[in-house]
Each structure stands twice: as structure tokens, then as C-alpha cells.
Amino acid sequence: MDFFKNFADIKAVQKLGQLARTPYNLAASTALSPKRLAAYRASSCGFDFLYGTQQVDTQVMQALQELANQARLVEQFKAMKSGAVMNKIIGHDSEDRQVLHTACRDIFTNKPLAPKETAQAKEQLDRLKKFLTDLDNGTITNQQGQPFNTMVQVGIGGSDLGPRALYLALKRYCQSGRKACFIANVDPDDAAAVLAELDLSRTLINVVSKSGTTLETLTNEELVRSALTAAGLDPACHMIAVTGAGSPMDDPDKYLAAFHMYDYIGGRYSATSMVGGVTLAFALGYDNFLELLRGANAMDQAGEQINIKENLPLLMALLGIWNRNFLGYNTVAILPYSQALLRFPAHLQQCDMESNGKQVSRSGESVQWKTGPIVWGEPGTNGQHAFYQLLHQGSEIVPAEFIGFRQSQYQEDITINGTTSQQKLLANMLAQSLALALGRAHENPNKSFTGNRPSSLLLADRLTPYSMGALLALYENKIAMQGFCWNINSFDQEGVQLGKVLANRILSELAKEKEGEQLSPDSPELALLRVADLEKDAPSPKH
Ligand SMILES: O=P(O)(O)OC[C@H]1O[C@](O)(CO)[C@@H](O)[C@@H]1O
């Protein structure tokens, strides 16, 4: 495809390389003037993005705009949204799929960019609405005629992280008497701890797996099924499913209700499909789920602007590339100053690292440039009392992305010493960004801060279904645009396969142990050695 340009061959990359020899020094005495802070600011969909604390100047910003234009990032994004086959490696066996999670939220117009896929999303939404209405009006109840009040989502990776992060973020908006829980890990203690807290008779189990083949999810499905049976309940009256159309799990007869997602939606981009939709709409209400989609759709539209000042996903993608490829920073910390965003960094970790943790280009060649950084994070202010020491004085420079809200969600606050807790929270976030940038000289080297450490601030009024949807899509789109720029396929995940294959081999070794007997203490290690031994002689697959 004409779009597929090697990063190193793009003209603006040479220019940025030169500019990176003398990056803006954030620790210089006049570096953070009010004029600069006002100028390095952009807004979309209720979010203000403050990036005066990045090591950029007007020349760098100009060159980043040129990079966006020369790599045709917005065109690639629009092509993705319109159904181009973006998930592929040219000349090699690959998934060869469209990438259309954006179609799930392009439902607020008569002219969606991918009409067939948006029609499919709407059909699933209609089915979900009917299912929820049946729950509300008592058409669907438990065997005693009581309403269901809890939904447990059983899934892992993209079938867990996004939906769980969004649920926790928006728990404040739960419908009265409704809640959701999640089981992901194949560790039996995960399910045991969740199930111990529930009245199973009032619980719906939502098994979510795009492939319908994931070991952890199928195992936990059986575990929960047997817990229902042991409690004298009929699993068929309690279990629902979300899976890829045509997957091995796509068997509506086994479930009280079944919903589809499609192969053009990647697992880690699936939170706005039925993968997130069923549990979120059950707990938060259908209208709140629609608001989430509305926010995501607004950010998808912002992603089509050519000017980086009007396109937050693109601007954030380019600043990330500046930090990664030109300033050489290996990692990014996502630091929400919002307890509700507790699991959002974990979701972004999958979304980013599974998407952009690649080392071959879209033409199958080894890339000669750095791709996705290591992404991690925790909410502030807790993180300040844990790992910020390294952020301020460590030998690794960690660009930070702060996320904050002017108002709290619950609006239940207290004024102590003249400020509310929300003000204390925000003051801390702003202070961290300043401290990272400015540093502080001190005669005692152990107390001195070098500063000149980049960060940016994302600020919105309040964490609502709409702003959460916009924030989710902001990051999804940022990640996709970075992948386009690096000329990698951000939409497959071949790197997770080898571990799965080897785990299955170790399991078949362990299964040889006498059935029902406890594993002897050295069994796992012996199985590991046997499989390692077999592997060393295994023929390499054809290239
Ligand atoms: O929804 P599924 O098919 O069960 O997959 C779960 C997760 O497993 C992965 O395939 C990685 O192993 C992720 O990409 C995916 O989100």
C-alpha cells in the first residue's frame, strides 16, 4: 500500500534527528513562561492537553506536523475507519483483516464510514437493549422469578482489561442495585474469591472470548458452570456469552443470550463492542453505555483533523514518537489522578504493548528504529509515595502522562486548611509535572533534582461516561497512529503464541501424572525440563 513508508525514509525524521541534538531544556530559568504554557495547549472533546512541559519548541512541533503529513497518518487513520485492510503483513501469511472498532461507535450519523459494520454494531446494540428491557420488566428472571442484580464477566486480556477498567471508572453511575464483577486469571483463587462474595442465584455469568478458544476463559467458564450446578442452579438460565461470529463458543443453545463481536475488532480495541457493552450496559444502564460510545465517536472524529493542534490523538502520538525515537526514552508512565481510573493504565498497557511491541514492518522486514515503549502506571497520589522517587531522581528518564479532572465524581468532599481533597489531588498532579520539568539545584547532591524530565497533562471537567469514552478512544487512536508512523502492524499479536503452545505442551506432560493425585513437588519442574529438552530438537517452522 502506498501508505506503507519506512519510518527511517521519511524526510521529517532526518530533520527531527537534527533537532533532537539540542532539545528544549525544561529546567532553564525561563523555560516555563506563562506564554509558553498557554501556547502549548490543545483541546478536543472536553479534554485540554497541556504539553508545555514536553521538550519541544516551535521548530520541533513544525517538524512533527511534517512527519504526520509525510507519513500520511490522518489518511491512514481515515482509511482504517473506512474499512481498509490495515491488519496485514505484505507478502507473508497474516490476519489480513479490516480494523473497525471505530464502526461500533459511528452510530450517531446516517452516513457512517463503514456502513455494513456499523449496521452490525447497531443490530447487536438493539439485541442488547431488548435483553436489558427483558431483565428490567421481569421477562427474564432467575428460576425463583427474582431479578438478576449482578453480572460476572469471565474473560481475559482484551475481553477483561478494557471492560473492567471502564466499569471501575464509571462505577459511580451504576444503576441502583446492580453491580459487575470480573474473573480473568486461570488461578482458581481468582474465581473462588469473586464467587465467595456473590449470591449466585441472582447472578448472570457473561463469558467473553473473541476466539472462543482461550484456555483461561474456557477453564473459568467450566469452573463457574460447576459452581452454579453445585448451588442447585441451572447454568443455562444464568450464562450468557459474547464471542466472535462463528467461533467455537458461538453456540446460542448453551446460553441464556449470546452476542457477537466480529473479526474486524481486535480484542484490545473491543471495549466499545459487545465485549464491554453487555456488562457495562447491565451495570451502568444502556443510556450511559451510549454516552460512552458518543464520547469515543467524538474523539474518533477529532482524529481526522490534519492540524496536530486540533487532533489530540495525533498530537499525543507524535510527542510520544519524539520522546521514544529522538530523545531515546524507553518507557511511558500513565498517571491518572483519579482513583476511578485505577485499572486504566493496565488496559493501556495491553492496548499499547500488544499493538506496538513489534519488530517487523508491514512488509515483513526487521525495523531499524525503536517501536512501542514500555507502558505502565498507577493512580496518583498513591504513586507519589511509591515509585516517583525514580521518576524524579532515577537514572532512567520516564516521560509521564498525567490525567486529571477538575471535579470529583461523587462530589462528596471536605475542606481542610482551606482546600478540598479534590484541590489537593489536582495540586499534587500539577506540582509533579512542574517538579519533573524544573528540578531543583541543591548543594547536597542527594537532594538535588536535575529536572528537564518531560510530561504532559490531560484535563477534563469530570470523569463521566462521555469523557471516559473520549479518553479511551484518545489512547486507542494515539496507539494506532504511532503504529502507522512506525510502519508496523498494530493489530495482530503473534508474540503471544509461543508461550501458549509451550504451556499446552507442559500441561500434556502434567496430565500424564496419575489422575486425581496431587502433583508431586518436583512435577512442574520435571515437566519443564522434558519440554525444554523436546524443544531443543524441534524442527524450526518453515519461513
Ligand atoms: O477474547 P479472547 O479470544 O479470549 O482473547 C483474549 C486475549 O488473548 C489475546 O489473544 C492474547 O493472548 C489477546 O489479544 C486477547 O485480548
Report ipTM (2 d.p.). Answer: 0.98
pLDDT at 529: 79
Residue 516 has pLDDT above 70, yes or no: no
**Domains 7-83+307-464 and 101-293 agree in fold:** yes
Read off the pLDDT of residues 387-397 as tens digits, 9 standing for 90 and up: 999 999 999 99
Over the Cα atoms of the chain, what is R_g?
A: 25
Cα 175 to averaged position of ligand 1 atoms, centre (Å): 29
Mean pLDDT of 465-491: 98
Beta strands in 31-137 (DSSP E): 41-44, 47-50
Query: Are 19 and 63 spatial neighbours (Cβ–Cβ below 8 Å)?
Result: yes
Cβ atoms 197, 231 nearer than 8 A: no
Cβ atoms 433, 457 nearer than 8 A: yes
Q: Residues 111-139: pLDDT tens digits? A: 999 999 999 999 999 999 999 999 999 99
Q: How confident is the model at residue 524 (pLDDT cuts 50, 70, 90)?
A: confident
Q: Ligand 1: which residue has its CA nearest to atom 16?
A: 158
The residues spanned by each domain of the chain are 7-83+307-464, 101-293, 495-531
* Ligand 1 pocket check for 159: Cβ under 6 Å: yes
Name residue, grid cell 515503549: 373
Nearest by Cα to 400 from 442, 356, 445, 433: 433
User: Pairing relation of β-strands 455-460 and 47-50?
Assistant: antiparallel
Residue-level pLDDT at 541: 60
CA distance 482 to 485: 5
Counting residues of the chain whose pLDDT is more than 70, the rounded percentage is: 98
Q: CA end-to-end span of the chain, whole Å?
A: 23
| Any atom of ligand 1 within 6 Å of the Cβ of 276 | no
What is the C-alpha separation between 337 and 17, in angstroms, rounded? 33
Which residues are identified as catalytic?
354, 385, 500
Q: Report residue 124 as a C-alpha cell.
A: 447487536
CATH architecture of the domain formed by 101-293: 3-Layer(aba) Sandwich (3.40)
Does the pLDDT of residue 540 top 70, yes or no?
no
Give the domain 7-83+307-464 fold: Rossmann fold (3.40.50)
Give one word for 285, left, alpha or beta, with left for phi > 0 and alpha for psi -120 to 50: left
Amino acid at residue number 360: V
What mean pLDDT comes out for the span 435-443? Answer: 97
Q: Give all strands of the β-sheet with 41-44 in edge-to-edge order.
A: 41-44, 47-50, 455-460, 400-405, 331-337, 374-376
The structure's pTM equals 0.96
DSSP letter at 2 equals: T
Angle between helices 286-302 and 274-284 (to 10 degrees): 130
Ligand 1 atom nearest to CA at 161: 16
Distance between Cα 184 and ligand 1 center (Å): 11
Check: CB of residue 204 under 8 Å from CB of residue 256.
yes
Question: What pLDDT score was predicted for residue 511?
Answer: 82
Give the pLDDT confidence of 360-373 residue by residue, as tens digits.
Answer: 999 999 999 999 99
Average pLDDT, the chain: 95
What does the pLDDT average to over 74-86? Answer: 98
